[in-house]
Structure 1
Amino acid sequence: MPTNPKKVRQHGIKGAYVGGGWVDIEDCGDRFNITNPTPSDKTCDSCPNQTTCPRSRTRHVSVKDDGTYDVVIVGGGCVGASIARELTKYNLSILLLESADDVTQGATKGNSGIVHAGFDDKPGSVRAKYCWPGNQMFAQLDEELHFGYQKNGSLVLAKTKEERKVLDDLMERGRKNGVQRLKILEGKSVFEIEPFCNPNTIAALHSPDAGNLIPYEFAIAMAENAADNGAEVRIRRTVSAIEATDAGFEVTADHWEPKSYAKTMHGSEATVPEPEVNDSKAVPAAVIAALGAAGAGFLKSQPQFTDEMAMGVAAAALVLALIVFLSSSAKPNRVQGEGKAKDSRKPVGTGGSRVSVDEMMVGGSGSMSANDGVVVGTEKIKCRFIVNAAGGGSDKISAMIGDDSFTIKPRLGDYLLLNREQGYLAKHTLFPCPDPVLGKGVLVQTTLWGNLILGPTARDTYLKDKMDMTDEDVQKFILSKCKDLVPDFDSKQVIHGFVGARAKNSTGDWIIEESKVNSNFIQAAGIDSPGLAGSPAIAVEVVRLLQKNGLSKAKNKNFNPNRAPIITPKDGWKGIKAGPVGKFTDPKVNVICKCEKVTEHEVITALRRSLPIDSTQGIRKRTRAGMGHCQGDAENYNCECRVADVIARENGYGKKEEVGRRPWPATSTLPQRWLEESEKENLVELAKK
């Protein structure tokens, strides 16, 4: 097995990826660590009471004075989030509804994170129309939003003369689709840029404009910036009905919460009231101030007291009143650096239940049924326009207005993730020649964080043989197919597995158009791969369609395109420390997750942004806490419990049961969260078959 020629770059360690390229840590101050706080930071830090933020929605609302919204977007994946941000460039009232417990819990969470260039798409298709233009938007978006984007390029490998001919066909497709800078590399020139690919490779199609990112971090950045610019976001809202009205639509959304939260907080499953500001000492404080003023007036009327003495009494009373008020309204359990990992619920690594395909289509491990959710309220929302960006559930949303022109036909894509030490084996995204039916096929790629990712499968849920595949069948397929691309990866280094459900639909192409039933209902539906790459261009088109139908074009003069990053690049262990809980009280020093070097400050930063977070999964997606080699092993550093404690403290929860925890197995095909040596050896054997 080849030795590691050099350590692979890891976003956030000794530098960061910005706008497609690498920026060394000494230059991050100008390019990555932007100092101006985002509006969401200001909102939280300027709160005098540090009160608990609303659960399951943004702090602000954007409803108009007449109680309506201009646009309601259904679905908070990469497409819905991109549309929300694009709409905030205009003076509009926007509401984003997401059925899961966080944005990006559907197909956006479970995919490769490739920003495809678009050379594989059928010329003239809707996919081809938006993939390349979307690809070209990502560098600037990352300069503004700092989600991390690497333009690593892609290679389609050919090992036979027949496959070599396929490269010519792909090249011609790319030319018709407007894709630039494509080139076919022959023989040794392939190995000069990709030394560890299959030695039988005779040629490769090189697309230098292809890139990669962490898909959920991209969508979170888009949704967060949309919220910073005024869009309202509500999570845990399942749309159950849509009725056309003279003014537009009335949307019925069921608000759900986990049963454990409803019972723990309120002793009932029927109601979850919004938190109230603690003003229990506001009246006593006011009384003290008033008495001080009255006392000062009395003293001034007495000849034995000077005016200065009277004013001193009044000032002392005001200071005492301020102390009383602040001591009551400030939340003492939000003091940074004092979190103690008292949560006895260790991370779950065995047992549990598998997330079903139906659950994957509406949020996977974040869906209502997967979280044992109960409806705690029903909301009636009036709006002029609706955008259907509901991914796997978009056919059901469309049917609510009587448009049954398509159905979703889910295709599952399974992945395996390898430890970071395997990341050196692929510099580009590596593909085999595409299958005429199943598409691009498996891939091998080094992620933004340095891990090697393998997959996906292409399991159509309506095909019995695909759904009858066992976990070992899936693992064998991925490992053996990927060995044909990069033979030398070590299967024992697998640390995680997951599945995503792609929203393929019965029309065979993306649906981006006005509904034929109601022109104020815009479809951004049935969008599968390469939907991530196309999402920003799709957003521009959706806004154009809305404006064509009468949506205001008045610009939002206060639109701020910029967002500060959540992570802080680290220079090894300089300035940060890991140790027993409570040893280090400075949040910027105190490490919460040792494998990924995540600090308490980064967790707090994520929690104080504009999107609601109340689960360790939410923090995991934003900071990588728990995503490292040990996968949150309680016997290692117990980072999941540490994160849960910070969430409980920052959100003002009295009991840790109110913090959502990472489920198991969710969508993983691995036998348990932390593999035994015998299970690792089994993966090695599967790769040989």
Structure 2
Amino acid sequence: MPPKFDRKLNQHGVKGAYYGGEWVDLEDCAGTFQPDSSKCSGCPTRATCPRSQSRNAASTLANKDTVYDVVIIGAGCIGTSIARELSRYALKTLLVESADDVSQGATKGNSGIVHAGYDDKPGSVRAKFCWPGNQMFPQLDRELRFGYQKNGSLVVATSTKELEVLEELMERGNINGVENLRIIQKEELFQMEPALNPDCIAALYAPDAGNVIPYEFAIALAENAVDNGVELRIRREVTAIAKKEDGCFEVDLRHWEPQDYVDVRKKMGKSIDGTESKEISLLSLVMRLCVSFPASIVVMEGLVRFGLLEPSSKDDTKMVMTIVAFISTALVLFLPGGKRHRGTSVLKDIVAKCPPPVGSGDDGKVTLKDMFQGGSGSKTVQHGATVALESVKAKYVINCAGSYSDQIARMIGDDSFYIKPRLGDYILLNRNQGHLAHSTIFPCPDPVLGKGVLVQQTLWGNLILGPTARDMHNKETRDMSNESIQEYILSKCKQLCPYFDAKEAIHGFCGARSKSSRGDWIIEPSSKDANFIHVAGIDSPGLAGSPAISLYVVELMQKAGLKMPPNINFNPNRAPIITPKVGLRGLKMGPPGKNDSDGKDEATMAKNVICKCEKVTELEVVRALRRSLPIDSTQGIRKRTRAGMGHCQGDAENYDCECRVRAIISRENGVSPEEVGGRPWPATSTLSQRWVYKDDMQKEGLEKRMNNN
């Protein structure tokens, strides 16, 4: 029997929240973690976005003459950090993403560590940005409220030889400017982390290291950037880039949508994309006349483009009259305090029409190429169909395309680097295992594989194990079986913390790291064109360095000649989506229909539990949908509210939260349930079944692989 460790650790959203790196009790959250919404960007919340784009992108789609100051390719933590930083300036900036949501690449598939910077080679680009970026996170979280915990990190030693490695790491950290590093001995170490391997004798302690949920970090950055004027288009694959005679880049985009969505729209007689339609051309003319109604312009175009408003006839005069008649409705929709009209269907009726979660471990994984373009949210995995070909003009382009960044570089004839992808696999354990670690715990680094596996409590209280470091140019690591991957992770992590229960695994995931052929980050103007900036090959600790990288990119843009007047309306503040809770206090649970609202009564929505495991309410789902980023799938809500991320993983036989979420999206977006995307399975998971807690054979297999050394 493992020993008992009598300690309870804080979990974000449970009796309080992490704010600016520190824990804030529930009674102190008002005014700090939960601010006055009138002081935050995008608040009060408004109606949902047009499909696959931010609200402010709609009018630009109709105007083919628009010239952007900057186009950013890639909406991971790097691209969104840069977008948010550029939103401080009065620029016309477009952020494009090939996947179906922001953060779908490497940002979604990593451990979320805000590294301190002691591991980076002195003089490297990594070393230049990691520690400065680390120091920016407390203030970023005070503004954006994505949840940041300064929990510290430990590199543990089990021998005198490894003690020498700790000394070397501390010296490296001192050279890199990392502060507060120290080596702690066994007694203090086990006071901090009693569940460590008893063989540990000392550790390098970095108190300034922290952790975030990486996709929530990127979502917060993107929301604030869009609230401050940046345009976003998702499901846009860059197919070509050319420099034109006027000195601008022409960036060609392929707009895709899931085939299931396309089929449903066609079946219903609704348009998929009206970019080239007569209605859009006419709308553009009307919009230019209605300059005093900018919000209604966005709405009108969205209504026609996506089939929510059909022309009354083919006669242009009647068409104009129809549009003008809707302007007053549009103003109500967007004015502060305005309410969107919704159908009278109750959620119970919509849930009944929702298809159940499907998929098993036999469905196959996403390919490496798919991971470069969004993994489970990529065009291939979503069976995407091209619905439009778009072209945008820009004075400057920033290449933040992650593992696809070398392909983007080739589009302008730049072959100065290539990406050597490295996959990192993880296993996520239930919240009841999170008490086994407070700090992020590393072994002494491997001279070849680097930092190695880690054991860490996530912000939400789970225990995360991993990652592997599988170089895809190495056949042996590329072709590892699921069982071999699990055995590697579990057995290695057991050497750090031997007391976790592998049978408490609830999820497995994987991320593709974009290691560059240069062996370091690439943050520089292209040798082919000074107005084309590479931010490429950003592997670990890229998340930690991302805020500092964005400041440097702004400097590069200024040196390249971009005039950057300040955005006098810039608002750095963003309200959180989640509401901290105390158990089920004030909440109501029951079958669909018992506690559901009509989408208008916030008091009812705030009590209605949609996801039992994570205690996600209807209001939190609605709040996410009415923000500034487009959401049309249960996966998008899952990343923002955690609905479906609990131990049952959205099991339809438990609380059916995925169908409940789908019903709310259907109601809020004014679409049929069939148009709402679901969570793909198994995507990059190493688990053979989605609902692990039901599968005794799989749980026993995990336990066996944990004990294989």
Q: TM-score, normalised by structure 2?
A: 0.88
**What's the offset of the Cα at 1:640?**
0.3
Instruction: Report the equivalent of 1:220.
Output: 219
Alignment equivalent of 1:59, drawn from 55, 62, 67 = 55
Question: Which residue of 2 is the match for residue 477 of structure 1?
Answer: 488
Q: In the TM superposition, what is the alpha-carbon distance from 1:339 to its structure 2 partner? A: 6.9
**Alpha-carbon distance, 1:272 to partner:** 2.4
User: 2:242 is matched with which residue?
Assistant: 243
Could you report, residue by residue, the CA deviation over 1:594-644 in whole angstroms, capped at 9, with x for unpaired residues?
A: 000000000000000000000110000000000001110111000000000
| Number of the residue aligned with 1:658 | 675
Matches within 5 A, 1:443-592: 443-584=454-595, 585=597, 586-592=604-610
Q: Deviations over 1:138-170 (max 9, x none)?
A: 000000000000000000000011110000000
Number of the residue aligned with 1:23 = 24
Instruction: Report if the CA contact (8 A) 1:127-1:509 is conserved.
Output: yes
What amino acid sits opposite 1:35 in the alignment? D
Q: Which residue of 2 aligns with 1:649?
A: 667
Give the drift of 1:66: 5.1
In structure 2, give the amino acid aligned to 1:78. Answer: C
- CA drift of 1:559 comes to 0.3
Measure how far apart 1:4 and its partner are: 4.5
1:342 Cα offset (Å): 1.6
Q: Give per-residue Cα distances to partners, 1:311-358, cap 9 Å, x unaligned.
A: xxxxxxx9xxx9xxxxxx963327887774224421124132311111
Shift of 1:259: 1.0
Instruction: Give the 3 Å change call, closer, same or farther, for CA 330–469 of structure 1 in structure 2.
Output: closer
Q: Counterpart of 2:140 in 1: which secondary structure?
A: helix
CA distance in 2, matches of 1:604, 1:414: 32
Match of 2:356 in 1: 346
| Distance in 1 between residues matched to 2:609 and 2:26, nearest whole Å | 19
Match of 1:668 in 2: 685
In the TM superposition, what is the alpha-carbon distance from 1:9 to its structure 2 partner? Answer: 1.6
User: Following the alignment from structure 2 to structure 1, what is the Cα–Cα distance between the partners of residues 310 and 671?
Assistant: 18
1:450-473 superposed Cα distances (whole Å, 9 cap, x missing partner): 000000000000101102211000
CA RMSD in angstroms comes to 2.3
Aligned to 1:596: 614
3-state DSSP of counterpart to 1:504: strand
Counterpart amino acid of residue 367 in structure 2: S
Q: Do the aligned partners of residues 559 and 579 (structure 1) sit closer, same or farther apart at CA in structure 2, a change above 3 Å counting?
A: same
**2:153–2:207: 8 Å Cα contact kept in structure 1?**
yes
TM-superposition CA deviations, 1:213-244 (whole Å, max 9, x none): 10000000000100000000000000000001
Give 2:303's aligned residue: 275
Residue number in structure 2 paired with 1:313? none
% identical equivalent positions: 60
5 Å-filtered alignment, 1:420-431, equals 420-431=431-442
Residue equivalent to 1:40: 42
What amino acid maps onto 1:147 in structure 2? F
1:158 touches 1:167 (CA, 8 Å); kept in 2?
Answer: yes
Change (3 A) 1:459 1:224: same
The separation in 2 between residues aligned to 1:349 and 1:65, in whole angstroms, is 42
Q: Which runs of 5+ in 1 are unaligned?
A: 46-51, 291-317, 323-328
Partners of 1:671 and 1:8 lie apart in 2 by 31
Amino acid at match of 2:680: P
- CA displacement at 1:436 relative to structure 2: 1.2
**Contact conserved, 2:150 with 2:210, CA < 8 A, in 1?**
yes
Residue matched to 1:624: 642
Partner of 2:11: 10
**1:3, CA displacement in angstroms?**
2.5
Residue-by-residue CA offset, 1:71-108 (whole Å, 9 max, x unaligned) = 00000000000000000101100000000000000000
**Counterpart residue identity of residue 697, structure 2:** S
Deviations 1:350-379 (A, max 9, x none): 132311111011100000001000111011
| Structure 2 counterpart of 1:81 | 80
> TM-score, normalising length from structure 1?
0.90
Contact 2:347 2:592 in 1 (8 A): no
Partner of 1:200: 199
In structure 2, what is the Cα distance between the partners aligned to 1:53 and 1:443? 39
Q: Name the CA shift for 1:561/1:336 in 2 (closer, same or farther; >3 Å).
A: farther
Structure 1: how far apart are the matches of 2:365 and 2:663?
26
Counterpart selection for 1:607 from 617, 625, 631: 625
Aligned counterparts, 1:326-345, within 5 A = 331-333=341-343, 340-345=350-355
Unaligned runs of 5+ in 2: 275-301, 313-317, 333-338, 598-603
Q: Distance in 1 between matches of 2:416 and 2:341?
A: 53
Are the aligned partners of 1:269 and 1:376 in contact in 2 as well (CA < 8 Å)?
Answer: no
CA distance in structure 2 between the partners assigned to 1:361 and 1:270 by the alignment: 30
State how many pairs are aligned: 643
Q: Quick check: 34-43 or 267-276, which moved more?
A: 267-276
Question: 1:375 is matched with which residue?
Answer: 386
Q: Return 55-64 or 80-89, whichever deviates more.
A: 55-64
Contact 1:336-1:587 at 8 Å conserved across structures: no
Cα distance in 1 for residues equivalent to 2:370 and 2:681: 14
Q: Is residue 270–residue 375 contact of structure 1 (8 Å, CA) maintained in 2? A: no
Aligned-residue offset at 1:205: 0.1
The answer to whether the 8 A contact 1:339-1:642 is kept is no
Question: What is the letter of the counterpart of residue 333 of structure 1?
Answer: G
After superposition, where does 1:264-343 map in structure 2 within 5 Å? 264-267=264-267, 271-273=272-274, 274-276=302-304, 278=309, 331-333=341-343, 340-343=350-353
Kindly report structure 1 stretches of 4+ aligned residues shifted beyond 4 Å.
62-66, 267-271, 277-281, 334-340
Paired residue for 2:652, among 591, 615, 634?
634
Q: Is the 8 A contact 1:270 1:376 kept in 2?
A: no
Change (3 A) 1:425 1:94: same
Corresponding residue for residue 307 of structure 1: none
